[in-house]
Structure 1
Amino acid sequence: MKKTAFFIATICLTAFLYVSCSNDHNENTTTTDLTDLGVSIAVDTSNEMDLNTGLLVSTTSTTGKTTETSASVCATITVTTTEGGYPKVFTADFGTAGCKDDNNLTRKGKLKITLTGPVTTAGSKMTIERIDYSINNLKLEGTIEYTNTTTVATIPQWTRKVSNGKLTDLQGKTYTNSGTYTTRQTAGVDTPVFSDNVYEITEGTHTVTGTNGNTLTLTVKEPLIKKYSCLFISKGQLKIEGGILNGVVDYGNNECDAIYTYTHENGSSFTLSM
């Protein structure tokens, strides 16, 4: 079936989530279903953003990446260490009024980042806790655990586990979420900066459940490519299942853009944008 898409003028979720779709041949897929999908992608994106922040905040003393510093994070950073150096606790305080980051997104509240050891060391864990935290007034809760599971030194690998995740949108609707991904680094291992790092999410599943009880399950179908320098995933596919949705999200051809496509099992195609 021919792919058709045009942008509708309605903001479907927040200041940074838009849905565009065609009304042709899409009788079985409603705007509500697409909004649930958009929320699920937004949840995953916010997890990646907070993970990047955790890595950047803890850069100078734990990762060996020395040319970028936490100065580029619009937050007040404090560090607490115990005797022996670990655990090491960083607090990124974005303030109650909030501040705009390099992507022009307003963050409020705090991220508490706890390291059991250097994040590049096998067995070390970075835990990110959200405290009265929001991005563009989307309230985000939950904990991200990033554990180094490297077995081959030249191919660093981690698991990313999200527990008790919750997103509250501007209308007060809530979406709970949890899941685990396996990530490995495919570029930038031997350089002193983060900007050339490239990560590949090889497998994993996460679920998002809305206030209406609808649950979407998103499973890695083709490895997802996440460049540290890009805000969004730039390539790869997710299998989407839940409610009447049964299809595939495709992130495109490795461009650093906000566009992705959902194709339903009947061939209907929707273009969406973060």
Structure 2
Amino acid sequence: MKNSGKLIMLFTAFTVLIFLYSCNKNEDVSKNKIAITSTDDYLKIADAFSLAAEEEITTDDESLKSASLSSCLTVTIHENENGEFWPRSWTLDYGTENCECFLGNMKRGMIHVNLSDWWRNEGSERQITFEDFYMNDNKMEGVKTILNTGLNDAGNLTFLKKVADAKLTNPDGLVMTWECEKTSEQIEGGETLLFADDVWSVTGSGSGVNLDGNSYTMEITSALIYKNGCFYPLSGTIEIKTDGENSQTINYGEGECDKLITVTTDGVTETVEL
């Protein structure tokens, strides 16, 4: 009986040691796990849903007809059954195979755009959706809306831009989600109908779940300044916070139209080319 008791005690102690070792090992693995999601992935999902080219193509110019604008893109304007000009709707068809577009992006699939009224009229709303659409082999899903919110106290034209239920699915099947709400204010160029002299100030924030399954937020902490003709912001800062990771600060510089940003993480700053 005494020997039996000793064996039980030894077995119990051994089980506890194995349990503790297993816990410590799992903790070490968790600590040493390398995150899949990079700074570029955060910027990529925000840039993907900017859709600047698609917004510019779907203007309300009465002279624009359905046409093949390039080897990549066919634009179809859907006429209203009642013959009224508004609302307007377009289908942008990039085909079924990858085709190189602006900035070297490879696109395929379709984008649908609906515009309720002339884009400069207060209350007009543009809605953008996707149908089997891929950019750089990442499948894009979600809905983007752009609401003209009229002139602000400074007399500048403003828009409320929202992205809902958005996600990018990469070729490996990994998914990154995105929701955001931003305000765009036209701070220069409002006196003309030309796009070339437009300068915009953008504020707002977004959130989602990254490729590692962790929640994150992206907040514009200093307004992003965009000038027509320059794809990237001239200046401004974004703070990215991810569960279980150090925050990152993205700085677009002091007004130069270039591809350079600085990324600061845990006090260490590096320059990155987009």
Q: Normalised by the shorter chain, which TM-score bucket?
A: 0.7 to 0.9
Q: Aligned runs of 1:26-105 on 2, under 5 Å?
A: 32=35, 35-48=37-50, 50-61=51-62, 71=69, 74-82=72-80, 83=82, 84-105=84-105
Moved over 4 A (4+): 28-31
In 1, the alpha carbon distance for the partners of 2:79 and 2:88 equals: 5
For CA contacts below 8 A with separation 6 or more, give which structure has more relative contact order: 1
In 1, the alpha carbon distance for the partners of 2:156 and 2:69 equals: 29
What amino acid does structure 1 have at the position aligned with 2:78? T
Q: Is the 8 A contact 1:259 1:271 kept in 2?
A: yes
What residue number does 1:141 align with? 141
In 1, the alpha carbon distance for the partners of 2:34 and 2:237 equals: 21
Once the two structures are overlaid, the 10-residue window that deviates more, 187-196 or 91-100, is 187-196
What residue number does 1:268 align with? 268
Q: Is the 8 A contact 1:36 1:210 kept in 2?
A: no
What residue number does 1:231 align with? 231
3-state DSSP of counterpart to 2:104: coil
Q: 1:102 to 1:44 in 2, by over 3 A?
A: same
In 2, the alpha carbon distance for the partners of 1:101 and 1:45 equals: 15
Deviation at residue 104 of structure 1 after TM alignment: 2.4
Deviation at residue 101 of structure 1 after TM alignment: 1.9
Q: Whose strand proportion is higher, 1 or 2?
A: 1
In 2, the alpha carbon distance for the partners of 1:112 and 1:80 equals: 11
What amino acid does structure 2 have at the position aligned with 1:77? V
Q: Is the 8 A contact 2:98 2:107 kept in 1?
A: yes
Once the two structures are overlaid, the 10-residue window that deviates more, 116-125 or 93-102, is 93-102
- Tell me, yes or no, if structure 1 residue 253 matches structure 2 residue 251: no
- Please give the root-mean-square deviation of Cα atoms over the aligned residues, in Å: 2.7
Deviation at residue 124 of structure 1 after TM alignment: 0.5
Identity %: 24
Q: 1:117 to 1:269 in 2, by over 3 A?
A: same
What residue number does 1:11 align with? none
**Structure 2 unpaired stretches of 5+:** 1-30
3-state DSSP of counterpart to 1:38: helix
3-state DSSP of counterpart to 2:121: coil
What amino acid does structure 1 have at the position aligned with 2:144? I
In 1, the alpha carbon distance for the partners of 2:95 and 2:187 equals: 35
Q: 1:269 to 1:73 in 2, by over 3 A?
A: farther
TM-superposition CA deviations, 1:65-86 (whole Å, max 9, x none): x9xx994794111111323222
What residue number does 1:199 align with? 200
**Structure 1 unpaired stretches of 5+:** 1-27
Q: 1:81 to 1:139 in 2, by over 3 A?
A: same
In 2, the alpha carbon distance for the partners of 1:136 and 1:168 equals: 11
Larger radius of gyration: 2
Q: 1:29 to 1:41 in 2, by over 3 A?
A: farther
TM-score by length of 2: 0.78
What residue number does 1:108 align with? 108
In 1, the alpha carbon distance for the partners of 2:53 and 2:72 equals: 13
What amino acid does structure 2 have at the position aligned with 1:239? E
Q: Is the 8 A contact 1:40 1:208 kept in 2?
A: no
In 1, the alpha carbon distance for the partners of 2:148 and 2:139 equals: 28
Once the two structures are overlaid, the 10-residue window that deviates more, 135-144 or 97-106, is 97-106
3-state DSSP of counterpart to 1:193: coil
